[in-house]
Amino acid sequence: MTRPEDRQTLMAEITAASAAGARLAPACSLAGIDLRTFQRWRAGDGQVRADRRPEVIRPRPAHALSEAERARIVELANQPRFASTPPARIVPTLADEGVYVASEASFHRVLRDHGQMRHRGRARPPRTA
């Protein structure tokens, strides 16, 4: 993402170069942007448009885990038999029992979101020398 101040500077420099006789496409490529990007940044009244990506409301994916499923993952991972077991061992153990809750990656993601992915094994965590 380009900051609005940087956009304004680039737009002013490219516009000045274009007014001095430079072609627009080479001036844009020299500035490191595409011609289409320059055209998109320019609003109808000549003002520089701000980046609207941070403001966009993104819908939740239909296949996202529900809060009940996330709570079940945390509950399973916190059971005494899995308390010190990483997700790489929890998921296959549950699969051997015929229980599928979520993938290993989902276990990692949910436990990380709940702050429980520090070190789940019995061995000491690695130290830096």
pLDDT digits (tens, 9 = 90+) for 68-114: 999 999 999 999 999 888 899 999 999 999 999 999 999 999 999 99
Where along the chain do its domains lie? Answer: 4-52, 67-113
Cα–Cα distance, 13 to 56 (Å, whole number): 29
Provide the CA 2 distance to its chain's centre, in angstroms: 17
Q: What is the pLDDT of residue 121?
A: 66
- Phi, psi values for residue 63, rounded to 5°: -95, 10
Place of tokens 């059971």: 79
CA-closest candidate to residue 127, choices 119, 114, 111: 119
Q: Which residue has the tokens 């500077």?
A: 9
Q: Measure the CA–CA gap between 54 and 4, rounded to whole angstroms.
A: 13
Distances (CA, A) of 96 to 13, 16, 37, 93: 65, 69, 53, 5
Neighbours of 87 (CB within 10 A): 23
Per-residue pLDDT reduced to its tens digit, 23-78: 999 999 998 989 988 888 887 666 777 777 777 898 999 999 999 999 999 999 99
Contact 2/34 with Cβ under 8 angstroms?
no
**Given this model, what pLDDT does residue 26 score?**
92
Task: Kindly report the pTM of this predicted structure.
Answer: 0.56
Residue labelled with tokens 């153990």: 93
